[in-house]
Structure 1
Amino acid sequence: MSHLPSLIIDLALILSAAGVMTLLFKWLKQPLVLGYVLAGVLAGPHLGLLPFEVHDTANIQTWADIGVIILLFALGLEFSFKKLLAVGKTAFVSTIVIVAGMMSAGLLVGHLMGWSTLNGLFLGGMLCMSSTTIIIKAFNDTGMKEAPHAKLVFGVLVVEDLVAVLLMVLLSTISVSKVVDGSELLFSISRLVFFLCLWFLFGIYLVPTFLKRVRHLLSDETLLILITALCLVMVVLAVKAGFSAALGAFIMGSILSETHDLKRIEKVLEPLKLFFGAIFFVSVGMMVQPDIIADNAWTVVILIITVLVGQVVFATLGLLLSGQPLQTALRSAFSLGQVGEFAFIIAGLGITLHVTESVLYPI
Structure 2
Amino acid sequence: MLHELFVVFCSAIVVVLIFHRLRLPPIAGLLFCGFVVGPHGLNLITRLDDIEVLAEIGVVLLLFTIGLEFSLAELRRIKRQVLLGGSLQMLTTSLFAFVLASLSGLRTPHAIFLSQIFALSSTAIVLSVLASRGEMESPHGRMILGILLFQDLWVVPMMLMAPLLHGEGGLQLLPLLISFGKALLLIALVLTLAVFIVPRVLEQIVRVREREILVLGAVIICIGTAWLTSALGLSLALGAFIAGLAISESRYGHQVFAEILPFKDVFNSLFFISVGMLLDLKFAFTHLRLLAVLVLGTIVGKVLLAGVTARALSPSTRTALLVGMAIAQIGEFSFVLARLGVQHDLLDANLYQGFLAVAVTTMMATPLLISLAPAFARHMPEGLDGRLGRERGHLPSPQLAAMQDHTIIVGFGLNGRYLARVLKDSSIPYCILELNPQTVRDAQATGEPICFGDATRLEILRQVNLDTARILVITTDEIAVGRRLVAIARQHRRDLYLIVRTKFAAYVEELYELGANQVIAEEFEAATEIFGRVLAEYDVPRNAIQAYIETIRREGAMMLRRPQLPPASLEKLRQLLAGNVVENFLLLENSPAVGKTLAQLDMRNQTGATVIAIVRDHQSHANPAADFVLAANDLLVIMGTHRELDRATSLLDPPARQTA
Amino acid at match of 1:29: R
Offset at residue 291 of structure 1 (A): 2.7
> Which of 145, 151, 171 is the aligned partner of 1:181?
171
The two structures have a TM-score, normalised by structure 1, of 0.85
Deviations 1:147-192 (A, max 9, x none): xxx8232223222332232222222222244566242223322332
Offset at residue 130 of structure 1 (A): 3.6
Q: Which moved more, 1:225-234 or 1:129-138?
A: 129-138
Offset at residue 258 of structure 1 (A): 0.9
Deviations 1:291-314 (A, max 9, x none): 332344454244324423322332
CA distance in 1, matches of 2:199, 2:95: 40
Amino acid at match of 2:312: L
Offset at residue 27 of structure 1 (A): 2.4
2:157 matches 1:170: yes
* Pair 1:272–1:166, CA change in 2 (3 A): same
Amino acid at match of 2:66: L
* Pair 1:251–1:117, CA change in 2 (3 A): farther
In structure 2, the residue matched to 1:55 is 46
* Pair 1:18–1:115, CA change in 2 (3 A): farther
* Pair 1:354–1:219, CA change in 2 (3 A): farther
CA distance in 2, matches of 1:335, 1:132: 10
In structure 1, the residue matched to 2:226 is 235
In structure 2, the residue matched to 1:32 is 26
CA distance in 2, matches of 1:260, 1:144: 28
Aligned length: 350
2:271 matches 1:284: no
Gap runs ≥5 in structure 1? 1-6
Q: Is the 2:34–2:275 Cα contact (8 Å) retained in structure 1?
A: yes
Amino acid at match of 2:19: F
CA distance in 1, matches of 2:202, 2:57: 25
SS at match of 2:234: coil
2:351 matches 1:362: no
Q: Is the 2:159–2:337 Cα contact (8 Å) retained in structure 1?
A: no
The two structures have a TM-score, normalised by structure 2, of 0.49
Gap runs ≥5 in structure 2? 358-660
CA distance in 2, matches of 1:309, 1:254: 35
Q: What RMSD over aligned residues (CA atoms) do the two structures have, in Å?
A: 2.8
Amino acid at match of 1:158: L
2:104 matches 1:152: no
Amino acid at match of 1:274: D
Q: Is the 1:118–1:356 Cα contact (8 Å) retained in structure 2?
A: no
Offset at residue 232 of structure 1 (A): 1.0
* Pair 1:251–1:354, CA change in 2 (3 A): farther
Amino acid at match of 2:285: A
- Which structure carries more relative contact order (alpha carbon 8 Å, separation 6+)? 1
Q: Which moved more, 1:244-253 or 1:328-337?
A: 328-337
* Pair 1:89–1:164, CA change in 2 (3 A): closer
* Pair 1:68–1:121, CA change in 2 (3 A): farther
Offset at residue 133 of structure 1 (A): 5.7
In structure 1, the residue matched to 2:616 is none
> Which of 182, 194, 204 is the aligned partner of 2:185?
194
SS at match of 1:202: helix
Offset at residue 356 of structure 1 (A): 3.0
More helix by share: 1
Q: Which moved more, 1:234-243 or 1:101-110?
A: 101-110
2:306 matches 1:315: yes
SS at match of 1:362: helix
Q: What percent of counterpart residues are identical?
A: 25
CA distance in 2, matches of 1:60, 1:351: 17
CA distance in 1, matches of 2:125, 2:201: 40
Q: Is the 2:113–2:162 Cα contact (8 Å) retained in structure 1?
A: no
In structure 2, the residue matched to 1:3 is none
In structure 1, the residue matched to 2:63 is 72
Offset at residue 205 of structure 1 (A): 2.0
2:18 matches 1:17: no
> Which of 192, 207, 220 is the aligned partner of 2:198?
207
Amino acid at match of 2:313: S
Q: Is the 2:143–2:310 Cα contact (8 Å) retained in structure 1?
A: no
CA distance in 1, matches of 2:245, 2:128: 28
More strand by share: 2
What is the 5 A alignment of 1:212-227? 212-227=203-218
2:253 matches 1:262: yes
* Pair 1:21–1:330, CA change in 2 (3 A): closer
Higher Cα Rg, which structure: 2
Offset at residue 89 of structure 1 (A): 2.3
Amino acid at match of 1:174: M
Q: Is the 2:97–2:115 Cα contact (8 Å) retained in structure 1?
A: yes
